[in-house]
A and B are shown apart, each in its own frame.
Chain A
Amino acid sequence: MEILLQQLFNGLTIGSVYALVALGLTLVYGILHIPNFAHGALYMMGGYITLTMMTSYGFHYWLAILVSMLVVGLLGVLMERFIFYPLREAPPIHDKIAAIGILLFLEAFAQFVWGADYQMMTSPYSQVINVLGLTFTLQRILIIVAAIVIMILLYVFLKKTFTGSTIIAMSQDREGANLVGINTHKVAMLTFMISGALAAVAASLAAPINLVFPGMGHLVILKAFVIIILGGMGSIPGAILGGYILGFSESLGATYISNDYKDIIAFVLLIVILSVKPTGLFAKGGH
């Protein structure tokens, strides 16, 4: 029972990180219908920038995260402007390849600047807490709480503010949004900004319990793709739900099936889903 509870808690932690990454990915997909393969690289950059801010400049953890969100967000905007915008009329195979090019570049860049070693990020919240015979580190609780706060903020922003609703409008109908006077270029840039910031915050939160290294985005991005296919490409609630489902199934699978093969669970899940429903669960009409 204790093991189960402990694993459920772990699942909740991993699920929160997955959900944040998947949210960024699904927002971009909803707006531009691009599967951004470079999103994992943004995640990795987020981790490194937070780490650098803390070690080299002595910034506080939260301040470092904030800087990282801004920088990676801007990186996202640059990507949209210089790469995806010129390719908007190109066949769909092109922006996938372009995204892979960015991914390769950013990974090599990180290795060039920060080296290939695995690095530890020390967070100020490494205390261990005992509740009802279960042991938590404070960082894990922080991940869960921070993820929920961010999701609520994002929800309020998208639903209650004017700027937020332009994003929703554009994901529903790009031309329609253009017709009613929404500047779709600005919205696209804003979406990439948010997407990059979400990746950065997810990486910075997860880094103290994992490690920071150039390939840290590989598995996360693949799993984020699994999640958004699970939850419907472009669907925001789907990304959150899918993130938690994957988090739980992985931590339970690692305990009760096999720790070696826990990374396969996500992909087997995806292969099963796409085999049964080639357009993903909850696919929206049209795309």
Chain B
Amino acid sequence: MSTIFQRKNVIIAVILFAIAFPYLTDNTYYIHIMSLAFIWTIAVYGLNLLAGYTGYLSLAHAGFFAIGAYSIGLLTVKAGLNYWLAFILAILITSFLGLLIGLISLRTKEHFFAIYTLCVGYVIYLVIDKWDSLTGGVRGLIGIPAPANIGPISFQTPVSLYYLILFFMLLAVLVAYRIVNSLTGRTYIAIRNSEELALTMGIDTGKNKLVVFVISTAFAGVAGALYASFIRFIGPEVAYTTVVFDLLTFLLVGGIGTLTGPIVGTLLIVWISQQLQFLQDYRMLIFGPVLTLLVIFYPRGLVGGFYAWKMKREHKRAMKANSAKSSDSAIGAKDQVKEG
């Protein structure tokens, strides 16, 4: 019971820290970086549900991120829609395209799925890049509005925008938590561990995979829409494969298939990247090998490694306690014999 309280306390402390963060620092740049990290976190949670829990490595997620971003950009800038209506439509558009692509791509498995989604991602990038009349091509889309006011609450200042993004990030974590700790989450893990076995047990793998794919793209869509209205400018490079590789790095470092992994990995890597700004394009000289080494030695990332270490320690402690108890009882038995 005490561990549950501890975990609850940790979570509350982390949330309180996140809420207090803008008051702890005067530097708006830090708030900017933190907001950006939260946006990536949302996308990484989406990827985690699919790649981490269901075992399908989708390399098209930068594409869905870009679809979310461009949808809201085009709907507000070119169609002049109300911001929040455009926001909801952007998520719906992303999910709908996710549904269509999921229907086809989920017929493939393992390597084929990875290659297929990699190509889908590339097609999305090329379409955005070349469809000049709609997306503005390489020039990108400028002048995307910040989120509109909800009643009296305005999102024009960086701090208020930070809270909006934090809200969506917490919502994403909550949704992911609820999914993973439900029967549906167990179903996904069953599919990851053995699709044939899951099928034999009567799980409709096709439907479940499609649902998780659509949820996962919706996460990417939310992140993309937030990104567009946060940065206020988007170019085709948000759809490029390097973005999906970034997401994958965040996920892997934090811990694929763990609930806290995405946020730990994203925050860590985003902050380290900020510290290593002088490296810029060369940061992959470090993160590339880190990615490979992690997969070999710590396939479940920092969080997975931490849990493994904790379990080992508890196991050792339990073993020690057990042996102490048994030797105690042995001594007790001897004493009894003597007394007898």
Contact = CB atoms under 8 A, between A and B. Distances in A.
Nearest to B126: A264
A100 B248 contact: yes
Q: Which of A104, A105, A112, A271 has the most CB of B within 10 A?
A: A104
Given A263-B126, A274-B107, A278-B108, A97 B248 contact: yes
Interface residues of A, number: 47
A233 to B, nearest CB: 7
A3 B94 CA distance: 42
A35 B116 CA distance: 12
Interface in A94-125: 94-98, 100-109, 111-112, 116
Contacts, number: 122
Nearest to B116: A274
Contact of A94 (B241, B290, B299): B299
A279 B123 contact: no
B233 interface: no
B218 interface: no
Nearest to A268: B123
Interface in A243-287: 260-261, 263-264, 266-268, 270-271, 274-275, 278-280
B119 A271 contact: yes
Nearest to A106: B288
A132 interface: no
Nearest to A219: B122
Interface stretch (A51-59, A67-75, A85-93, A205-213): A85-93
Given A94-B299, A108-B284, A261-B126, A274 B108 contact: yes
Contacts of A108: 281-285, 288
Interface in B102-148: 104-105, 107-112, 114-116, 118-120, 122-123, 126-127, 130
A218 B119 CA distance: 11
Contact of A105 (B104, B122, B292): B292
B291 interface: yes
B287 A104 contact: yes
B55 interface: yes
A105 B285 contact: yes
B252 interface: yes
Contacts of B173: none
Interface in B142-173: none
B289 interface: yes
A2 B4 CA distance: 77
Given A83-B296, A218-B241, A271-B120, A103 B288 contact: yes
Given A98-B292, A104-B288, A278-B112, A93 B57 contact: yes
Interface in B73-122: 104-105, 107-112, 114-116, 118-120, 122
A225 B291 contact: no
Nearest to B291: A101
A83 B291 CA distance: 11
16 contacts: A87-B296, A90-B299, A92-B111, A93-B256, A94-B299, A98-B291, A100-B291, A101-B287, A101-B292, A101-B295, A108-B285, A109-B285, A112-B282, A225-B119, A264-B123, A275-B104
Interface of A: 33, 35, 83, 86-87, 90-98, 100-109, 111-112, 116, 218, 222, 225-226, 229, 233, 260-261, 263-264, 266-268, 270-271, 274-275, 278-280
Given A105-B288, A225-B118, A233-B111, 13 more contacts: A35-B111, A97-B252, A98-B291, A101-B290, A102-B292, A106-B288, A107-B284, A109-B285, A261-B130, A267-B126, A271-B120, A274-B105, A275-B107
Which 10 pairs, one residue from A and one from B, show the smallest C-beta to C-beta distance? A105-B288, A101-B291, A101-B292, A108-B284, A104-B288, A278-B107, A104-B284, A267-B119, A108-B285, A278-B108
